[in-house]
Amino acid sequence: MGYYRRVSSHALRSLKCPSLLTRLSPAPAKFGSLSRRSGGGSGAFSSPSFGFGYAYGFCSHSRSNLKESAIDLIQYPPERIRNFSIIAHVDHGKSTLADRLLELTGTIKKGHGQPQYLDKLQVERERGITVKAQTATMFYNYNLDGLKADEGHETQAFLLNLVDTPGHVDFSYEVSRSLAACQGALLVVDAAQGVQAQTVANFYLAFESGLTIIPVINKIDQPTADPERVKAQLMSMFDLDPSDALLTSAKTGQGLEQVLPAVIRHIAPPPGKSNSPLRMLLLDSYYDEYKGVICHVAVVDGAVRKGDKISSAGTGQSYEVLDIGVMHPELTPTGVLLTGQVGYIVSGMRSTKEARIGDTLYHSRNTVEPLPGFKSVKHMVFSGVYPADGSDFEALNHAIERLTCNDASVSISKESSTALGLGFRCGFLGLLHMDVFHQRLEQEYGAHVISTVPTVPYIFEYSDGSKLEVQNPALLPSNPKSRVTACWEPTVIATIIIPSEYVGSVITLCSERRGQQLEYSFIDSQRVFMKYRLPLREIVVDFYNELKSLTSGYASFDYEDADYQQSDLVKLDILLNGQTVDAMATIVHNLKAQRVGRELVEKLRKFIDRQMFEIIIQAAIGSKVIARETISAMRKNVLAKCYGGDVTRKRKLLEKQKEGKKRMKRVGSVDIPQEAFHEILKVT
Ligand SMILES: Nc1nc2c(ncn2[C@@H]2O[C@H](COP(=O)(O)OP(=O)(O)OP(=O)(O)O)[C@@H](O)[C@H]2O)c(=O)[nH]1
């Protein structure tokens, strides 16, 4: 057993926070022997008396721009490879730590002027969050006896694959996929904030995947840092030995020299079989305009070379490997990938639909047992996406096709709406994911979209016994009560960590959102850990913002999907001058229908301009109107502003008016501006 004990089930039973045991479901299906190892730490290099003070490595020079074959992967058999991930709560410093490790190994230049190097998307830079997991291959020379290389002691070259993962709850699927390629994880915790909700969630993802977990207490340079308190939390929550924790500041560089030696010593090499036929797990894929589909892969067994013929277990299609290499940190051809290595291949796939995430790729000449792959992705939120200008449908179609090439976790199907025309029904992992998808559509593909009220997938049972999953409220008959015998809504198990002085207001919030408390315990003298079962509908819109504002920003929140629960649901319709706006229909709990209806019509009144006739806005359940607002008529003629007969000016104004109209959606005779659709998203 290596120095870094992985948590035993016995240890977990004695956790002071017994609630966490509920997360310990059997490990998710993943690829064979990589998923569960029996020994913690590095079998080959276990050293019970390892101390950080004397471990020295020195970096190899940057090879980012080296040509093919300049990196000789033959030098790196599995025992010289370490695949590890960095996991943490949002903003605890994963990407900054990843930057420092890339610099330390010379993979990127120091002061490269691009903070959070692995956050490559514009949306990641702007929001300061990681959305896509990224892998980088680093080379590091290290003396296993901890002797200084610069004093002439011999070192060995190691290949380290680092996976930077997202911290936000919406992207935990991305984290669990990334962990499939790793044998260990650095669990980064902010020295001032301590253990937060996503620390708990990510710890269990790594734990369930059988990874060796190395705790890293980061941001120790902060004046409010309290590493001792964090060590105590790690012990009480996860049974992680406080003396194992590394203390670092990714900002000042303090303590960083301990990190890679700890990775090499305590994380096991990948366990695949070099002599077995090739089995390669497809981790991710994206579309590159010049190279076509690029697949990120982990070679579990055997080896693959440029020119090899490979087949997909998922689709049965065969390909030739046209390019192959590692991300160092950009695509760097190597001509080969060997057992345990993580890299990329280009194989002439025409679309990312052929590159199924979790698929097994193997040599066409062999037959192999496919790897178990991943749990299928679960869509929590659905929303309609329509072109702001109806005539842009084809352009939007093209933009969505291209974006889904790089974000396979969105589900897409075509739909149409009387109000909005032709569009798409999209399934997302959460609201942030939905937001990011819209932003990427606009920024990367120049598409302007209107999205409809997000909904969760409800189940309705009809009198004939049939059950229907409803992802689009508009498809539900307006008076469902007549035929519906029962309905169910999805729930989540939420983890909330807060300072104890906010307990009262958070409990009130959760009960307003129809929550049921499952657990309540103290992490330490100041922090409380709570578990709630909450209807998913109640948290998708604005729950986190409200939780943050109630707790002055101190709350942290995470959730995992749970069962469906029976519920009293109704469809709420919005009518404009008597005509139903299908794109604004929503499903709500009967007890909340009145309030939501009133808020919706008030919002719409603010956002719909006065027009030349009176507009009546109504919210209704079936034929019963529950809220009503009126916008009085106004006469408005843009040309009336033109005195005299300046034709160009008149034409300009007419053009402007036309442009404005394009951004409106017409229901009957009423023009609805885009903002109205955006604003009603926020009504809970
Ligand atoms: N003082 C201090 N600030 C740090 C340190 N490490 C990171 N930060 C800052 O903390 C903020 C968040 O850092 P990131 O590296 O983006 O955090 P992250 O965990 O990758 O964030 P997500 O990808 O959104 O989950 C940034 O402003 C960093 O500059 C540290 O050691 N000390």
Provide DSSP, 370-421: PP---PPP---EEEEEEESSGGGHHHHHHHHHHHHHH-TT-EEEEEEETTTE
All residues at 6 or more sequence positions from 657 whose CB lies less than 8 Å from its CB, including other chains? 638
Q: Percentage of the chain with pLDDT > 70? A: 77
Average pLDDT over residues 127-144: 75
Q: Is the ipTM of this complex over 0.90?
A: yes
> Ligand 1, residues 95, 96, 230: which to mutate, most atoms within 8 A of Cβ?
96
Residue 160: pLDDT over 90: yes
Average pLDDT over residues 387-409: 82
Distance, C-alpha 153 to centroid of its chain: 44
User: Ligand 1: distance of its center to the CA of 129 in Å?
Assistant: 9
Residue 220: pLDDT over 50: yes
On average, the pLDDT of the chain sits at 79
Average pLDDT over residues 272-290: 89
Residue 337: pLDDT over 90: yes
Average pLDDT over residues 621-628: 90
More confident call, 652 vs 315: 315
More confident call, 592 vs 43: 592
> Ligand 1, residues 86, 89, 91: which to mutate, most atoms within 8 A of Cβ?
91
User: Ligand 1: distance of its center to the CA of 208 in Å?
Assistant: 26
Kindly report each contact of residues 10-18 with a partner whose C-beta sits within 8 Å and lies 24 or more positions away, as own/partner.
Answer: 11/239, 12/239, 14/239, 15/236, 15/237, 15/238, 15/239, 16/236, 16/237, 16/521, 17/236, 17/237, 17/521, 17/523, 17/529, 18/521
List pLDDT tens digits, range 625-649: 999 999 887 655 555 555 555 667 6
> By mean pLDDT, which of 8-22, 145-159, 170-184, 657-671 is the weakest?
8-22
Average pLDDT over residues 213-238: 96
Q: Percentage of the chain with pLDDT > 90? A: 35
Residue 514: pLDDT over 70: yes
Which ligand 1 atom is nearest residue 90's CA? 25
> Ligand 1, residues 85, 87, 89, 95: which to mutate, most atoms within 8 A of Cβ?
95
> By mean pLDDT, which of 105-119, 279-293, 510-524 is the weakest?
105-119
Q: Residue 20: what pLDDT?
A: 31
User: Ligand 1: distance of its center to the CA of 171 in Å?
Assistant: 18
CB distance 185 to 2 below 8 Å: no
Instruction: Name the band, by pLDDT with cuts 50, 70 and 90, for residue 99.
Output: confident
Residue 433: pLDDT over 90: no
Whole-model pTM above 0.80?
Answer: no
User: Ligand 1: distance of its center to the CA of 4 in Å?
Assistant: 25
List pLDDT tens digits, range 348-357: 887 767 888 7
User: Ligand 1: distance of its center to the CA of 237 in Å?
Assistant: 23
User: Ligand 1: distance of its center to the CA of 128 in Å?
Assistant: 9
Instruction: Tell me which residues have their CB closer than 6 angstroms to ligand 1.
Output: 88, 90-96, 116, 128-130, 166-167, 218-219, 221-222, 249-251
List pLDDT tens digits, range 600-610: 899 888 888 77
